[in-house]
Structure 1
């Protein structure tokens, strides 16, 4: 294996269309619907469409924060770099660590449905076998690990195929769902209101799960060092991705309310989309939607691998984690050490997960735990953009609203659902969610004492950046090769 410690990631590998595809694949519409709908319905019942709607508004604020921050700092670590250079390096590390832990947990939460859905194509009874689902899911995970190891171009080609088929199937069933009349309920506008929530804590628990639905679009920021014209492209792609998946989420959760009973949802907690497909199109419907969920799950495993390995690469480069994680393969231009480490840790977690219960039980706790970690690093990014742009926010109403107020409200919402939902979550979900964050204090304090330059950062200040004069791609490529923090006065 040929590798080099001093190389950067492959600059200019992805274009605008590629990054939009990655944003959609990161949120994994079919997977999120198939694996998370039962959890969301269990938390808020018929208010599932409302939870997704009211979470989408602050989530757009966070996407705006990522868009504005990516204009002034191109870094594979994304929020890890931005929060560290605006608020405090300790908070920046926790932000990056939250992504690393949530993504690593997702390796299990995502691989199990991939295995279960693959088995369900042949025999639905096999899908309930946790050990067999884990084994098949682990095989899919290893395949995606090799694809990610092969480089950004190979990764996006795989995504174009998987996400393309997934979206065609979902679009077909979105139309069929609303012309389906057999045994269907009448639509009720209260599903988009607040009446079905069990108080503020009930709303918060639903919003926390809804945050998991949307999570993943920010993979575009982790790919910024590998994207052409990334200062414009990564943020735009994230916003477009959220818009598309929001429409799909709303259509299918409303269709679930219209067509399925609560008993059907409860009995098929890991295969809600397949049951919905059977109701809409008996015989073929369930199989086609199972295929879409399987493809979506495999696709989002790929984007999650990118997020966690690029974040670890940035940490290794900054020496806030072992420096070996910052090594890049000479041929493929990928952080091969980070990829192999994540693969090894995930495989150990696959084995451990078999002791935790059924696929549905594992998913419920994992989704809630990941939701807590998402709320932390999204919320910190929302605050970071306000600090970075503080001297410019009053120069125009657009900057004030899109670069300040909306992201700040999004951050407040994320922190609120974090605190408010704690009373509603299981002890396992809280232990995984908060315990996973607490573990990050160990490497943070260790490498701070070792004198990492990350803990003595140059401040990120948008007023010292000419926003209309973006740095040429050649400069970004040179920066990536040099592994140095970019100057703050671009």
Structure 2
């Protein structure tokens, strides 16, 4: 990837370990557990471990799809580019827009808990003050905005510190949970069985929440233009990151079932982990897990900012959004216009969320809405991988399963969850989820009408790899060429 006169993204800034750390942080293990466990338990009860287990299988298919597509097209837009060059440019734009909208909504869903968790370290009563939590959360958000603006290397250094402490605390409490004796109920293998769900619609409502749990590992793909050996590294990082967070989610969801009563979960919907920590280690446990949640929230604010701004950068570069979004800072090599825009919009939404109610109420609808949008862009990426690799699928059993069957299953699962869960969600969640996607039709049709080259793409094919050298001048011009080169493996 060329770095024309220092005006492209910072090429070769990240290594394999860096991208694995970013992928794990992207899924925000502690935050997801704290903010989402009560919502998941409300949807499927004690079957929470089961829904996370069964949803991990199709999610792995999507991770395989991302790994495969990243081998043949290195692009900061990831699914936006891949889907547009395999299925249809309009679907590619929808895929990119779904990520942009879901990530922007998450700025609210993430910043509020960051503020409330920080306040909870000092006084539990302060944590329930939504206005104060908004102010503190906005402070964390602005700090992460500055880190992302400072470049990929700075972002990774911050992530190593924050996520390192978070994961160390989670590992400690996973061990302590196993040794804990004051259980609310004994472990039951039926928690991992399918019979616990209230029909397929009940499973679908839980699956939509599980999709939100896992979301974020694909930030590694959005960093591909800044990663060394990215054709292999980013896909591997996504797979490893997904595996790590799956183990964490299962361990703590089972611990919640064993140690906490239904009443405890319902009364502490905004942060179940704090109550779990207090039960495991009275006095210190709750505080330490609040720290882990706060750090996780801050960490995932950073990775989400990276995802949305890199996606907008790719859109601006392709002129499917205002070309200014494709501008790169001369010193930091970051898309500063996209970062500034996202910061302004997210802060405005954060302030607006102040009038919507408590932190828990805001989170519930936001999580469901984000789940709908994630299902769309993950599902499209799964289909894109099958189409891109269609000429190679029957060259070996491994290619057929890993390159075709599994990604296709993941894609169909995502679309099924999207459709099936619509009838189970609140009107607000559906309005936010579908309405957010519909808004994207305006810029899509506008820039299509203006003749963006993105809508006349070279087709993406796994029998050829794309070697794109981006030259960014004041008009943000992108150019690429294609060469033969069969990917050797997945």
TM-score by length of 1: 0.96
Matched residues in 2 for 1:51 and 1:488: separation?
43
Give 1:468's aligned residue: none
C-alpha separation between the residues in 2 aligned to 1:11 and 1:184? Answer: 52
SS in 1 for 2:463: helix
Are positions 1:152 and 2:147 aligned together? Answer: no
Partner of 1:346: 346
C-alpha contact 2:317 2:325 (8 A) present in aligned 1 = yes
Give the aligned partner of residue 74 of structure 1: 74
Residue 248 of structure 1 is matched in structure 2 by 248
Q: Helix, strand or coil: the match of 1:483?
A: strand
Contact 2:6–2:333 (CA under 8 A) maintained in structure 1 = no
CA contact under 8 A between 2:72 and 2:464: conserved in structure 1?
no
The separation in 1 between residues aligned to 2:226 and 2:194, in whole angstroms, is: 42
Which residue number corresponds to residue 488 of structure 2?
Answer: none
Tell whether 2:482 aligns with 1:487: yes
> Residue 357 of structure 2: SS of its match in structure 1?
coil
Question: Counterparts in 2 of 1:16-55, with a 5 A limit?
Answer: 16-55=16-55
Q: Retained in 1: the 8 A contact 2:464–2:482?
A: no
Please say if 1:291 is aligned against 2:291. yes
The aligned residue for residue 333 of structure 1 is: 333
2:435 pairs with 1:440 = no
Cα distance in 2, alignment partners of residues 347 and 139 from structure 1: 10
- State the partner residue of 1:219: 219
Cα shift readout 1:370-409 (whole Å, capped 9, x = no counterpart): 0000000000000000000000000001111001100000
The 1-side partners of 2:286 and 2:101 are apart by 33
CA distance in structure 1 between the partners assigned to 2:271 and 2:443 by the alignment: 39
State the 1:488 CA deviation: 5.4
Whether 2:402 is the aligned partner of 1:402: answer: yes
For the residues of structure 1 that align with 2:137 and 2:456, how far apart are their CA atoms? 42
Aligned-pair distance for 1:486?
Answer: 4.3
Consecutive unaligned residues in structure 2, runs of 5 or more = 486-490
- Matched residues in 2 for 1:47 and 1:486: separation? 50
The count of residues paired between Structure 1 and Structure 2 equals 478
Displacement of 1:192 in angstroms is: 0.5
Alpha-carbon contact 1:325-1:337 (below 8 Å) kept: yes
The offset of 1:183, in angstroms, is 3.4
180-189 vs 220-229, which moves further: 180-189
- Which residue does 1:59 correspond to in 2? 59
Counterparts of 2:46 and 2:95 in 1: how far apart (Å)?
33
Question: Is the CA contact 2:85–2:92 (under 8 Å) kept in the aligned structure 1?
Answer: yes
Structure 1 residue runs without a partner (length 5+): 466-470
Distance 1:274 1:35 in 2: 11
Q: 1:354 to 1:256 in 2, by over 3 A?
A: same
Deviation at 1:6, TM superposition (A): 8.8
Deviation of 1:484 after TM superposition, in Å, equals 2.2
1:6–1:81 CA distance, 2 compared to 1 (3 A): farther
Residue 460 of structure 2 aligns to a residue whose secondary structure is: coil
| Residues 294, 480 of structure 1: alpha-carbon distance in 2 compared, 3 angstrom cutoff | farther
The answer on whether the counterparts of 1:148 and 1:154 sit within 8 Å (CA) in structure 2 is: yes
Q: Secondary structure of the equivalent of 1:36?
A: helix
Measure how far apart 1:485 and its partner are: 3.6
Superposition deviation, residue 198 in structure 1? 1.0
Counterpart residue number, 1:389: 389
Cα shift at 1:184:
3.5
* Cα displacement string for residues 79-101 of structure 1 (whole angstroms, at most 9, x for unaligned residues): 00000000000000000000000
Cα separation, 1, equivalents of 2:80 and 2:158: 27
Alignment partners' CA distance in 2, 1:39 and 1:6: 46
Q: How many angstroms apart in 1 are the aligned matches of 2:478 and 2:256?
A: 48
**Residue pair 2:184, 2:261 contacting (<8 A) in 1 also:** no
Root mean square deviation, CA, Å? 1.3
Do 2:116 and 2:133's aligned partners in 1 also have CA atoms closer than 8 Å? Answer: yes
1:199-210 aligned within 5 A? 199-210=199-210
State how far apart, in whole Å, the 2-side matches of 1:405 and 1:69 are: 15
The question of 1:188 aligning with 2:183 is answered: no
Measure, in 1, the Cα distance between the counterparts of 2:182 and 2:448.
63
Q: Is the 8 A contact 1:11 1:228 kept in 2?
A: yes
Cα distance in 2 between the residues matched to 1:485 and 1:8: 14
Measure how far apart 1:7 and its partner are.
Answer: 2.4
Question: Does structure 2 retain, via aligned residues, the 8 Å contact 1:40–1:206?
Answer: yes
Q: Matched residues in 2 for 1:173 and 1:302: separation? A: 25
Instruction: Give, in whole Å, the separation in 1 of the partners of 2:308 and 2:483.
Output: 26
Assess if the C-alpha contact under 8 Å between 1:38 and 1:265 holds in 2.
yes
Cα deviation, 1:139-166, whole Å, max 9, x if unaligned, reads 0000000000000000000000000000
CA contact 1:6–1:327 (8 Å) conserved in 2: no
**1:93-172 paired onto structure 2 within 5 Å:** 93-172=93-172
Cα displacement string for residues 390-439 of structure 1 (whole angstroms, at most 9, x for unaligned residues) = 00000001111001100000000000000000111000000000000000
Q: For 2:278 and 2:478, how far apart are their aligned partners in 1?
A: 52
Q: 1:426 is matched with which residue? A: 426
- Partner Cα distance (1:246, 1:151) in 2: 29
Deviation readout 1:456-487 (Å, 9 max, x if unpaired): 0000011134xxxxx8xxx76x4466732442
Q: What is the TM-score normalised by the length of structure 2? A: 0.96
Q: CA separation in 2, counterparts of 1:480 and 1:68?
A: 25
